[in-house]
Structure 1
Amino acid sequence: MSVPTVTTATPVCAYEVLLPERGVAALLGDRQIALFRTYDGTVYALGNQDPFSGANVLSRGIVGSRGDVPTVASPMFKQVFDLRTGACLDDPDVRVPAYPVQIVDGQVLVSLGDD
């Protein structure tokens, strides 16, 4: 019988401080993440490092969509990433980490998955 893995979620900020269609950076331990709130109110968390430039800038990217896919375009070279999965829509071999997000009592909690 296997025991399910319990992942601890870390409080990052209040939901209300996240502006729609904008990103913010946060440091969780030694990991930079980028949080995005879309117009429909959904919050996503990705790794903040742009894999093409190596710069921690995805939180400053342009939030939008391709069809029904919520996206962020890197401010460096403009590659577009799926906010749900971290997959690069311009290069299918590249992705950034995507982290589960919960909103509990008005607080944004992110699970890094290494517990």
Structure 2
Amino acid sequence: MAKTIMIVDDSSSLRTVVGLALKGAGYDVVEGCDGRDALAKLDGRKIHLVISDVNMPNMDGITFVKQMKNLPAYKFTPVIMLTTEASEAKKTEGRDAGVKAWVVKPFQPQQMLMAVQKLVLP
């Protein structure tokens, strides 16, 4: 059975690029257009990994991760931040929220897939 990865980004083109790379590697993909939309889609189904942007309207990525980690079903779901944010302060804030990896845009799909393979839950 394929593993499911959630992509949370307000850029539909980025969701498409990341989604194609993940689907090509055999993963199922669920998309959220911002943190609030993504939280609404966390309905108890198994999500093996989340890839999220930081800067989004309605709810930013760090707030989303904090709220997701409060849900018992997703407390241990690993998160990769895929963002233009490269400041140490943001990275520390992300780590404190439970983010496992930080990939700065622009990124190579292969680099992202390697991070995914390391972190995806069994």
TM-score (norm 2): 0.27
Whose RCO is larger (CA < 8 A, sep 6+)? Answer: 1
Q: Which has the higher strand share?
A: 1
Bigger Rg over Cα: 1
TM-score by length of 1: 0.28
